[in-house]
Chain A
Amino acid sequence: MTSLVRAEWLRLRKRTSLLVIVLAVPLLGAFFFLAGFASISEQPPFDPAATRARLIAEGYGQGLPPDQAEQLIQDSVNAERSQWESDEARFDLQRQRFAFPQGIVTTLASSAMLSFALILLTATTLGDEFGWGTIRTSLLASSRRRSFLAVRLGALALAAAGILILLVVLGAILPLLLGAVGARLPATTAVDGGALGVAVIGQLVASLAIIAFAALVTVLLRSGSLTLVAMLVYVAIEAAILTLLIRFEPFQDKANLAWLLDALPVRGISTLTNTTLRAASGLASFPGETVDRSLEPAIVPIVALIAWTALFAAVAFRRFQRMDIVE
């Protein structure tokens, strides 16, 4: 097994395109992090005198007795102050997501890119073995098919873990970087370490499910490009199933069978990510919102994803073990 791992390391480390895919996720994560921060509006400090002067210039209170005009202008100034404070609170809340340690949760939220990268990596590394015919070379060198697939899937799982670690590190470093260049970062609430741990584990479980599914599809279709198409088709099919089921009462909101929807892979990954990251962050989307930090909604997706991973991997291994290598 050690020699197969060494062979796999040689196979993967010398392939530049794979390295590009692996590094693209944290790089894009960093880009979206910085772009997200830059997109938050920066409003000038509220100046009551200037506001008052502007209102008068705009004709506020004209034609009214002086005391009524004064009252109207004062009310308007207060209303604008209130609006400014409300906006400022909202922007402050948005900025908090980019401060340490909330930045870690923010970078982890770019998991859609991670999912896509893992599909690409799995389809490319396995699909090209069929496309180039090197699956034959590899299995002639060592006919232990299960070991070959296990090492490949293990390498992909390690890549997923590596990307996740990079995202966490980025989430910790980028706020410091923003602070160093003078960005205004407010003090933020602490992150729930336990929930963050569950979020990372959840991302890893989701990654394993994606790798196992992509591997199964690639082994069945013997093509990386067809796998990419098939994955898109699957997402569309699951969306259609969800749309259909949600019309029936038992699947709506908190009805008896609603939890079943979270057992579907794509919906499960989405629920798992949203639930765990929300629980870890605790930050509201808008001032006054009560954040549900319960991890309970993550239970069904995480159990279902583990089950899906086991099923996909078992079928992929069985198929790979029995398939004719005609490439």
Chain B
Amino acid sequence: MSNSAPDASAPPAAPVIATHGLVKQFKDIQAVAGLDLRVPAGGVYGFLGPNGAGKTTTIRMLLALVRPTRGVVTLFGESVAPGRPVLDRVGALVERPAVYPYLSASDNLRLVGLARGMPEPRLSERIPEALDRVGLSGAAKRPAGRFSTGMRQRLGIAQALLNRPDLVILDEPANGLDPNGVVDIRELIEALAGDGTTVFLSSHVLPEVEQLCHRVAILQAGRIIAEGETQALLQQGERLHARFESEPDATRARTVIEAAVPDVAVTPDGPQSFAVPAGSLSGSALIRMLASHDLFPIEVVVRRHSLEDVFIELTADPAAEAGTVPVAEQAA
């Protein structure tokens, strides 16, 4: 996880991003279905979801590229609409970067800087710096149309960072990057968060998100199905796995646990083993309980879920898809 997570002891700041009842309907498709989102200032916020969940549409609404059908979007407490000055505080990379193919990397950045109203001396200082930051210094004069996908991605990130925005929204920044590039971007995001910039990160590279984000929201079918601190979400996925010498022992042990702790969800984990949520029963309590029934597991281990496991589990859950899984409880 990023070492730049906001100080938990500090009083809660106003959210950098807030949406309330956000809906986007494209003809007969509801891309976003009543989204309530609050992204606190500072740190890296992960915005996850399967393909078609509505992540990019949400991001476009945050940036006033797409008009919400209903609902409210605010950035830094100000409502968002085309032309609002608050958007000048945001840098963004949305999906694949779009660059003017006949302009050099340097001119593509100059164009963005000019449109942002940056004065020439500042541009002359910031353009080489931004190119250097994304590793494109050597290609500054090359037309962007001749760039590889990864180079375009880097240029897109440089465009987003050019004016040192307070909020950076990155939609799949690692797209098309080689492993070194992915590491570079991770370090870049960490550095941004370290500088106090709020980073809103949408990504399918879940190990990266797990490392970088102090908070995540998981979106499915246009709704948030889980939101909270990454650590809390991962802890929620911790399981106690118990393995026995024989299948009858395992079956008997499951019956004992289900009788003793009625609310616990015991899930089979092979013929001779099962798992229970770590939060509902400690390892020692489990062993004592089983021993009192002459049941002795040959192995009891705590397995922590990765964010990927949590993501797959949540997004595969039909109840979650229907929006019935309590959002706050997921991570609380």
In the complex, which residues of chain A have a beta carbon less than 8 angstroms from the beta carbon of B101?
Answer: 132
Asked if B110 lies at the interface with its beta carbon under 8 angstroms from chain A, I say: yes
Residue in A11, A133, A140, A321 whose Cβ sees the most chain B Cβ within 10 Å: A140
Tell me how many residues of A have a C-beta within 8 Å of chain B. 31
In the complex, which residues of chain A have a beta carbon less than 8 angstroms from the beta carbon of B117?
Answer: 3, 142
- CA separation between A16 and B143, bound complex, in Å? 13
Q: B interface, by DSSP: helix, strand, loop or mixed?
A: loop
Interface residues of A in 1-56 (CB under 8 A from B): 3-4, 6-7, 10-11, 14-16
In the complex, which residues of chain B have a beta carbon less than 8 angstroms from the beta carbon of A143?
Answer: 63-64, 82-84, 87
Residue in B82, B92, B96, B118 whose Cβ sees the most chain A Cβ within 10 Å: B82
Q: Are B100 and A134 in contact (CB under 8 A)?
A: yes
In the complex, which residues of chain A have a beta carbon less than 8 angstroms from the beta carbon of B2?
Answer: none
Q: Are A7 and B111 in contact (CB under 8 A)?
A: yes
In the complex, which residues of chain A have a beta carbon less than 8 angstroms from the beta carbon of B66?
Answer: 324-326
Q: Are A6 and B114 in contact (CB under 8 A)?
A: yes
Asked if B322 lies at the interface with its beta carbon under 8 angstroms from chain A, I say: no
Pick the contact of A10: B63, B64, B96, B107 (CB < 8 A): B107
Pick the contact of B67: A7, A10, A324 (CB < 8 A): A324
0/1 per residue, B155-166, Cβ < 8 Å to A? 000011000000
Asked if A81 lies at the interface with its beta carbon under 8 angstroms from chain B, I say: no
Asked if A221 lies at the interface with its beta carbon under 8 angstroms from chain B, I say: no
Pick the contact of A14: B82, B102, B116, B118 (CB < 8 A): B102
The smallest C-beta distance from B321 to any residue of chain A, in angstroms, reads 24
Asked if A146 lies at the interface with its beta carbon under 8 angstroms from chain B, I say: yes
Pick the contact of B115: A15, A132, A142 (CB < 8 A): A142
The smallest C-beta distance from A140 to any residue of chain B, in angstroms, reads 5
In chain A, what residue has the closest Cβ to B66?
A324
Q: Are B65 and A139 in contact (CB under 8 A)?
A: yes
In chain B, what residue has the closest Cβ to A148?
B115
- CA separation between A210 and B84, bound complex, in Å? 31
- CA separation between A136 and B84, bound complex, in Å? 16
Number of A-B contacts (CB under 8 A): 90
0/1 per residue, B126-143, Cβ < 8 Å to A? 000000000000000000
In the complex, which residues of chain B have a beta carbon less than 8 angstroms from the beta carbon of A141?
Answer: 111-113, 115-116, 159
- CA separation between A326 and B96, bound complex, in Å? 12
Q: Are A325 and B115 in contact (CB under 8 A)?
A: no
Asked if A327 lies at the interface with its beta carbon under 8 angstroms from chain B, I say: yes
Q: Are A11 and B111 in contact (CB under 8 A)?
A: yes
The smallest C-beta distance from A150 to any residue of chain B, in angstroms, reads 12
Asked if A90 lies at the interface with its beta carbon under 8 angstroms from chain B, I say: no
Q: Are A145 and B82 in contact (CB under 8 A)?
A: yes
Asked if A270 lies at the interface with its beta carbon under 8 angstroms from chain B, I say: no
Closest 6 CB pairs of A and B: A133-B98, A141-B115, A7-B114, A325-B65, A142-B115, A141-B112
Given A7-B115, A14-B103, A15-B102, 18 new contacts (CB under 8 A): A3-B114, A4-B114, A10-B103, A10-B111, A132-B98, A132-B99, A132-B100, A134-B100, A136-B98, A137-B100, A139-B65, A141-B112, A143-B82, A144-B83, A146-B83, A147-B83, A324-B60, A324-B65
29 CB contacts below 8 A, A to B, read A3-B115, A3-B116, A6-B114, A7-B111, A7-B114, A11-B103, A14-B102, A14-B103, A14-B107, A133-B98, A134-B99, A136-B94, A136-B98, A137-B98, A137-B99, A137-B100, A139-B82, A140-B63, A140-B94, A140-B160, A141-B111, A143-B87, A144-B83, A145-B82, A147-B83, A322-B67, A324-B60, A324-B67, A326-B66
Chain B residues close to A by CB (< 8 Å): 60, 63-67, 82-84, 87-88, 91-92, 94, 96-103, 107, 110-118, 159-160
